[in-house]
Structure 1
Amino acid sequence: MNRTLSFSRLAKGGLVALLALMVAAPNALARTSKHPDTLVVATTYDAKTLDPYMTNDVASSNAMRQIYETLVAIDAEGNVVPSLAEKIDRVDGKTYRFTLKKGVTFHNGETLTADDALYSLKRAYERGASVRHILGVIDPAGFKKIDDLTFEVKTKEAMSSFLAALTHFGGGVILNQKAVEAAGDDYGFKPVGTGPYKLASWKKGDRMELERFEAYHGTKPEFPKMVLRVIPEASNRTIELESGDVDISFEVSSLDVSRVKANKNLELLTLVDTATTYMGFNCSKAPYDNEKLRQALTLAINIPGSVKAVFRGNAFPAYGPIAPNVKYSNNDLQPSKTDIKKAKKLLAEAGYPNGLTTTLWTNSKKVRVDMATIIQAQLKKIGVTVKIQVLEWGAYLQGLKDNKHELFIVGWTCQTPDPDMAVFPTFHSSQIGGNNFAAFGDAEVDALLDKARITPDGAERKALYFDIQDKLREKAPWVFLANKKIAYGMQNYLEGFTPSPYGFHALYEVKMKK
């Protein structure tokens, strides 16, 4: 039996499309779990830390989704809804009043109070370099406790995207003050949240073991235990899924999709996520501080052909920084077209008539290595020699933040329903040293980004984001490569897993079919 489900998420002012394909065979329930009390999930990367304000990578956010909760969340339609905050009032354009749920307990037995919430937001504002794009808008003088369950937060400007930003697991997560202060610098390995699971053990690079939090205030997970296994190689994840040693596998390779789809014991789920895969230039230093050089290399790359070769139908060419299922994406744009003649002309005008030699960074993810190899061959046609360097994920991210790179391939996921999260953290000059890995700074782009985030939703805000997309295509800090269809494999004795286009999944909702 084949089942195809389609989901659409309609956020204010824009459409977020989520497509899911689930395939099951006639005798789908023949297999039973090898570990009925444990949900085993194969992930591509390990978390860097479980301190939500010290990182902003998807792997960490996904693990934290099981442990922590945010003040507000995203519902199935892409709307911002209460979570730990049962009520949110906008007192004025800049002031938000939050009323917390009563009787919420942390993993250490402490009761959630407004003091914890204010402490968490203050700590994130003061220490969270990786998340300053989320909380940098807060007015530090505007924190105010009303009573044990009520508090206020003020922003520096009237922000259209503030509540959406608080759904991010680097922004709205609430910590227990006593736990953070007791753990000190080790807190990232001793997390205490209010979520449905708590950390039991963590062997870095191998697995993270979670156990059900029996005092959880919401619906308790069915599985007493959860294991997040780190299996970087996609083919190995599929093998483990086929054998029944894992229950869910993230990021099924395009090479393995047909195998999973045909397997009578498995279901395949796919969605178009909110990420853009790109090749970035380090715009802060020569030679890539030269706009013409960036444009030249962009024109030398055959984006549609590269995407087809690498992703085998499981992605489509990107045309800009805002993925097509994010609000205010300009879906009338087209991917950059290859023009070798013009690329060579721009290369000469940039001062490199005989080409140059450069280094392209990537991590070990196969599609990125394959993309790097194809780009290497294509840039050779205009006289650019590319040396590919493959780095371990943690070292890769640190190297980007330390500004040691030239060219690099990575992806950026817009982890909220608002387009501000797609472009402000990645292109505003204030975010250099954070998630603006291209170290790109442009006064005109900054002004557009600043105005767009404070403009109310509507035609004017949409026009601003369209202008931003046009400017970034012109300035070329990134080569926009691909928007991916992400595939997940799941044992067909399970139900309740709905992959999130924002990259962090509610695995605690998974249960056995009855």
Structure 2
Amino acid sequence: MSGRRALGAVAALLLLAGCGKEPAGDPALFRSYTTDEPQSVDPAFAVDQTSGTLVSLIYPGLFRFDAAGHPQPDLALRWEREEEGRRYRLHLDGSRRFDDGTAITAPLVARCFRRLLDPAQPSPRRWVLERLEGAAAFRDGMATDVAGLAAPDDSTLVLTLHSPFTPFLGLLAMPATRVCLLDASGKPRRVDGLPVAGGPWRLRTWDRGDRLLLERRGPALPGEMTGLELRIIPQPFTAVAEFEVGNLDLLRVPLAEAEYWMGDTHPGKVLRQEQLVVSYIGLNVRKAPFDDLRVRQALNYAVDVEALIRTLRAHAARRSLGPVPPALRTADPAETFHYRPERARELLAEAGYPDGFAMEIWQKENPEAGRLLEAVQAYLAAVGVEAKIVVRDWGAFKDAVNQGSADAFFLDWLADYPDAENFLVPLFHSR
């Protein structure tokens, strides 16, 4: 599956802060929400975004991401690179403790990392540490330990890679590498059904399907929040209603309402936060006519991406000039596609399709994606390409894409860590 982009845009998240009705209750409690219930509080199995967020709140990591997406020290106070970038010697903060008083030491971190690679309980996130020397042998049962993982004392962790990898510190800031207190069975320890915290927050209450309540573990500075409420609100317009009556302090603005919320009625309240995500239509180049470069170029010329961003994304996106978001690029391509329907028709004729052809574009169930693809469908029809939109649940959609039965498909790629490598290798490498 390649020929990844016939249409690309980089999303911007619109956040609306504190302009509903006057909030009631504790002013030190920040009331937010998530659309999905967390599926796990185990770093090794937190694969969805909500679980990753929760894990990052309650457990510490060697590093953490700052607001700009750069890894900053957390447990690792300082570090040195050795062996031409293959080895990292990290010196840990010896003062850190879990809620039960257990010290967070280098051997404990090593145990969590070893567990992430353990073949006895395969983690879907084990790839995060597979660059460690000996990780593959340990994962495949050919070795009893990971050669590149060592804790010579309580405050020193040594990580050796099989080859240098510049974004490695970013991997060590991911939820999968968060450090939890493990019980005798090797699972995150719980007390009264809740995880034992060691990060900036502890989970106090989890009412399934309703809300999670967290409290700050350390002292708060004047004006800082001491509590965090995360309600489970799947429907965006329910969140809008709750925000308007003052029950939420933050709203993720639905794209369908972006123009209204960005108007003069809420000056200075809308925050733009660019996401490291690319939305694209992938083309199956193993199927005709998409194996012809001219056809793929024609589809790009046929769609006015800038108009789609203006009308359907309310300017809450930027055109992507390739698979890597602008925030991670060091240069723009010398050439790009602009809206030129006449050129699209010429290329289709050159490729042997003067009257166009029929195709299917698959999408997972998502109303906003559906509206976008309907507009793309109209653009393609104008150059003779009849595109049928096929909507399936996530499982059926994923199977069709992976098996190569879909002509084309609409997807988003969200960065696991802020580096261009995370867009180029997973999407294009042949491995």
Q: TM-score, normalised by structure 1?
A: 0.65
TM-aligned CA distance change 1:348 to 1:38, over 3 Å: farther
Residue 119 (structure 1) aligned with residue 111 (structure 2): yes
* Alignment of structure 1 residues 221-232 onto 2, 5 Å: 222-232=224-234
How much has 1:24 moved relative to structure 2? Answer: 9.1
C-alpha distance in structure 1 between counterparts of 2:42 and 2:89, whole Å: 25
Q: 1:129 aligns with which of 124, 130, 134?
A: 124
- For residue 391 of structure 1, what is the aligned residue in structure 2? 393
TM-aligned CA distance change 1:343 to 1:121, over 3 Å: farther
TM-aligned CA distance change 1:354 to 1:76, over 3 Å: closer
C-alpha distance in structure 2 between counterparts of 1:405 and 1:246, whole Å: 43
Residue 344 (structure 1) aligned with residue 348 (structure 2): yes
Q: 2:149 aligns with which of 119, 126, 143?
A: 143
C-alpha distance in structure 1 between counterparts of 2:89 and 2:320, whole Å: 39
Residue 210 (structure 1) aligned with residue 213 (structure 2): yes
Q: Is the 8 A contact 1:380 1:386 kept in 2?
A: no
Per-residue CA shift, 1:375-434, capped at 9, x if unaligned? 233334433332331536xx478658965872332322335443222322332233xxxx
TM-aligned CA distance change 1:77 to 1:270, over 3 Å: closer
Letter of the aligned partner of 1:53 in structure 2?
Answer: A
Q: TM-score, normalised by structure 2?
A: 0.76
Give ranges in structure 1 of 5+ residues lacking alignment: 1-18, 431-514
Q: 1:164 aligns with which of 170, 174, 177?
A: 170
- For residue 178 of structure 2, what is the aligned residue in structure 1? 173
- For residue 281 of structure 2, what is the aligned residue in structure 1? 279
TM-aligned CA distance change 1:207 to 1:106, over 3 Å: farther
How much has 1:248 moved relative to structure 2? Answer: 1.0
Bigger radius of gyration among the two: 2
Per-residue CA shift, 1:154-206, capped at 9, x if unaligned? 11111221113322334x3222232872469x9xx9655422223345466x4
The one of the two structures with greater contact order (alpha-carbon pairs below 8 A, sep at least 6) is 2
Q: Is the 8 A contact 2:15 2:251 kept in 1?
A: no
How much has 1:96 moved relative to structure 2? Answer: 0.5
C-alpha distance in structure 2 between counterparts of 1:191 and 1:103, whole Å: 20
Per-residue CA shift, 1:242-282, capped at 9, x if unaligned? 11111112244352453365456982211333221212235
Query: How well do the aligned residues superpose, as a CA RMSD in angstroms?
Result: 4.1
Give ranges in structure 2 of 5+ residues lacking alignment: 1-11, 136-146
How much has 1:222 moved relative to structure 2? Answer: 4.8
Moved more, 49-58 or 66-75: 49-58
Letter of the aligned partner of 2:55 in structure 1?
Answer: M
Q: Is the 8 A contact 2:17 2:249 kept in 1?
A: no
Find the residue that maps to 2:186 and give its secondary structure. helix
C-alpha distance in structure 2 between counterparts of 1:62 and 1:99, whole Å: 25
Q: Is the 8 A contact 1:209 1:225 kept in 2?
A: no
Residue 153 (structure 1) aligned with residue 147 (structure 2): no
Find the residue that maps to 1:269 and give its secondary structure. strand
Q: Is the 8 A contact 1:49 1:55 kept in 2?
A: yes
Give the number of aligned pairs: 399
Per-residue CA shift, 1:268-314, capped at 9, x if unaligned? 2113332212122356x645883545545444333222222211222
The percent of aligned pairs where both chains have the same amino acid is 20
Letter of the aligned partner of 1:372 in structure 2?
Answer: L
How much has 1:39 moved relative to structure 2? Answer: 2.3
- For residue 457 of structure 1, what is the aligned residue in structure 2? none
* Alignment of structure 1 residues 47-196 onto 2, 5 Å: 47-75=38-66, 79-92=70-83, 93-107=85-99, 109-126=101-118, 127-130=122-125, 132=127, 134-139=128-133, 140=135, 141-170=147-176, 172-178=177-183, 181-182=186-187, 191-196=195-200
Find the residue that maps to 1:409 and give its secondary structure. strand
- For residue 302 of structure 1, what is the aligned residue in structure 2? 304
C-alpha distance in structure 2 between counterparts of 1:233 and 1:20, whole Å: 17
